Amino acid sequence: MKSTRVWWPLAGLIAGAVGLALSYAAAALLHVRDSPVVAVAEGVIALTPGPVAKWAIDTFDTSDKLVLVVGILAVLAVLFGWFGLLARRQWWAAVTGYVVLAGVAVVAVLAKPTPSLTDLAPVVVGLLGWLVALALLAEWLRRWELAEDVPGPADDALPTRRRFFAITGAMAAVSVLGGLTGRIAGNARRKAEQSRRLLRIEGVTAPAVPDGVAVGVEGVSPWQTPNDAFYLIDTAIIKPTVAPVDWELRIHGEVEREIRLTFADLVRREITQDWITLNCVSNEVGGDLVGNAWWSGVRLAAILAEAKPLPGADAVLQTSQDGWTCGTPLAALMDERNAMLAVAMNGEPLPIEHGFPVRTIVPGLYGYVSACKWVVDMEVTRFEDITAYWTDKGWSEQGPVKIASKIQVPADGADVPAGELVCAGVAWFQHTGISGVEVQLDGGRWQPATLATTPNADTWVQWRAVVDVTPGEHQLRVRAIDRDARTQTGAVADVVPDGATGWHTIDVTASS
């Protein structure tokens, strides 16, 4: 076997790294939000069928979407090695491989909302990087092979071998430099962070947690969820970084008057503020995809009234800067509830992850049909004429929240002392409100819990109850009652298509 043999896949791998690094640097320098690899990863997310998406939401922390990027890089590494092997005898096969990969990236980039020619430049740079790097490496590998073929002392091959290694080193350096350039130039995030830090919005006040909202049991979610503890759900790997000066919202479609709002236009209007609990349709019974914050923003009812929706319109198709969509009932945006274009969360400008500079918040609707982060477009339309991101994956067109309750203390599976056992947790049914919570021990009689207070019907409520447990194993259940005196159903439903139902049930072991 030729000693050059193992170097072909390595050359392919290094050429691959050069192309990726250069395209990453180009994306950063040209302010393209997604490098081609990230665009492909987001394309994979967009094409993921509903059941797989549900599994991924349950299985991974949503901030772990980088796993997908790493997976794509691993697949690429294998392909690059193979292309290197191919290049030895069939140069055109290797070139075809790179062109096909670039083609996949082009499709992913063009699938993004409002793609431009600039967005394609990183792909072109990457393809050129691959071809030039592989051509150079292959050239010197071939010379090395030829030198080895010449009969005589083996050291005849030494100069070409050295040359090949020098080029390999140079290519590796180019990859590292490209990567560093991308890191340093990719400062869109830093700029957005800076504009966020400097932003002061008149009328936004710090939250003051109302008296009496806590039952005072350790282990229950704090009534106000801090921003950095608030759950995160979105389809973006690289979060949109929109500076307020660059933000504009277009309201159009079936309206008498199209409206365009800049950030300055928006915050010049009257600011509304409220405590609102937001939750995700993908939250399992007992799950954590729910949080409560002090939201500040501008009421959508007033803005939409100025746009004057035409008779027959019943939906608003919202689109985010990264192309995510949701269909929201027009009525929920225009009735008396505090549906808003939110600009602040817990008294601070929205964190970038939560939709900076502007997102929608609608009390009483699941996030997937209402809470559009980085919102830039609202089309007044009809449900019969649209589909949206999650409805395309099998979720329901309408997503009113369902009544829910959970036990947080004691924890499921806990060992507890026998005797009087303090149980506590939260319950929510935004915009209808909770009037009671009941707990049940071992399938017995439902016992009323004590409720803390709430400032409105749009937030969760903490509850507390005491049950008497004998030594041994026990089962605890909770259910809530809404302000219209309807009791939460015990019928079990999956999160798909429109939210889970069933009583949260836990097991504990008591000992004396």
Ligand X SMILES: Nc1nc2c(c(=O)[nH]1)N[C@H]1C(S)=C(S)[C@@H](COP(=O)(O)O)O[C@H]1N2
List the interface residues with ligand X, window 150-189 (CB under 6 A): none
Taking the complex as a whole, the smallest distance from the CB of residue 452 to ligand X amounts, in Å, to: 23
Q: How far is the CB of 123 from ligand X (least distance, A)?
A: 24
Cα–chain center distance at 377: 19
> Does residue number 320 form part of the binding site for ligand X (CB under 6 A)?
yes
- Residue 239 binds to ligand X (criterion: CB under 6 A): no
**399-405-410 Cα angle (round to 5):** 145
Region near Mo ion per CB under 5 A, out of 194-202, 264-272, 368-376, 493-501: 368-376
Report the distance separating Cα 155 and Cα 136, nearest Å: 22
Q: Does 280 bind ligand X (CB under 6 A)?
A: yes
Residue 83 CA to residue 133 CA, distance in Å, equals 12
- With respect to ligand X, which residue has the nearer C-beta, 83 or 231? 231
Residue nearest to ligand X (CB): 367
Select from 357, 367, 425, 502 the one that contacts Mo ion (CB under 5 A).
367
Interaction of residue 231 with Mo ion, rule CB under 5 A? no
User: What is the rounded CA–CA span in Å between residue 133 and residue 101?
Assistant: 16
Residues between 190 and 219 that touch ligand X (CB under 6 A): none
Report in angstroms how near the CB of residue 234 gets to ligand X at its nearest.
3
Give, as ranges, the residues between 71 and 130 that touch ligand X (CB under 6 A).
none
Q: Please, what's the b/e burial string for 216-247 (b: 16 or more CB within 10 A of its CB; e: otherwise)?
A: eeeebbebbbebeebbebbbbbbbbbbbbeeb
374 is a contact residue toward Mo ion (CB under 5 A): no
Q: How far is the CB of 177 from ligand X (least distance, A)?
A: 34
Cβ-proximal residue to Mo ion, closest one:
280
Size of the site for ligand X (CB under 6 A): 18
Q: How many helices (H) and strands (E) does the chain have?
A: 11, 19
Binding test (CB under 6 A) with ligand X, winner from 7, 247, 368, 503:
368
Q: How many residues bind Mo ion (CB under 5 A)?
A: 4
Q: Which stretch binds ligand X (CB under 6 A): 208-216, 220-228, 316-324, 472-480?
A: 316-324
Distance CA 164, CA 406 (A): 65
368 binds Mo ion (CB under 5 A): yes
Choices 191-199, 292-300, 360-368, 481-489; region in contact with Mo ion by CB under 5 A: 360-368
Which listed option, ligand X, Mo ion, none, makes contact with residue 372 (CB within 5 to 8 Å by class)?
ligand X
Please, which residue, 97 or 499, has the CB nearer to ligand X?
499
Bridge-based pairing of strands 325-329 and 315-320 is: antiparallel
Q: How far apart are CA 498 and CA 405, in angstroms?
A: 17
- If the CB atoms of residues 13 and 280 are measured against Mo ion, the closer one turns out to be 280
Q: Are 164 and 134 in contact (CB under 8 A)?
A: no
35 interface partner picked from ligand X, Mo ion, none, CB below 5 to 8 A per type: none
| CA–CA gap between residue 57 and residue 59 (Å, rounded) | 6
- Of 17, 228, 23, 249, the closest CA to residue 121 belongs to 23
Q: Are 438 and 454 in contact (CB under 8 A)?
A: no
Pick from 87, 167, 261, 371 the residue near ligand X by CB under 6 A.
Answer: 371
Strands 504-511 and 272-279: unpaired
Residue with the two structure tokens 């990230």? 38
Give the separation between CA 220 and CA 167, rounded to whole angstroms: 61
Complex with Mo ion: residue 160 or 325, whichever CB lies closer: 325
Nearer to Mo ion, 157 or 375 (CB): 375
Regarding 280 and contact with Mo ion (CB under 5 A), the answer is yes
Among 11, 108, 340, 372, binds ligand X (CB under 6 A): 372
How many CB atoms within 10 Å of residue 319?
A: 20
374 lies in the site for ligand X, by CB under 6 A: yes
Round to whole Å and give the CA distance between 458 and 275. 7
SS3 512: coil
Task: Tokens for 477, please give them.
Answer: 């259940």
> Residue 468 and residue 150: Cα distance in Å, rounded?
91
Stretch that binds Mo ion, among 230-238, 245-253, 399-407, 449-457 (CB under 5 A): 230-238
Q: Does 73 bind Mo ion (CB under 5 A)?
A: no
Q: Is 495 in the site for Mo ion (CB under 5 A)?
A: no
Q: Cα separation of 87 and 5, whole Å? A: 12
- Residue 67, token pair as written in the block: 């796993």
Choosing from 367, 399, 425, 499, the residue that interacts with ligand X (CB under 6 A) is: 367
CA 311 to chain centre: 35
Binding mask 329-358 for ligand X (x = CB under 6 A): -------------------------x----
Nearest Cα neighbor of 230 from 345, 319, 343 is: 345
Q: Residue 223 or residue 368: which is nearer to Mo ion going by CB?
A: 368
**Among residues 235, 262, 447, 456, which is the contact residue for ligand X, using CB under 6 A?**
235
Asked whether the beta carbons of 485 and 435 are under 8 A apart, the reply is yes
Residues that bind Mo ion (CB under 5 A): 233, 280, 367-368
Residues that bind ligand X (CB under 6 A): 230-235, 278, 280, 320, 322, 324, 354, 367-368, 371-374
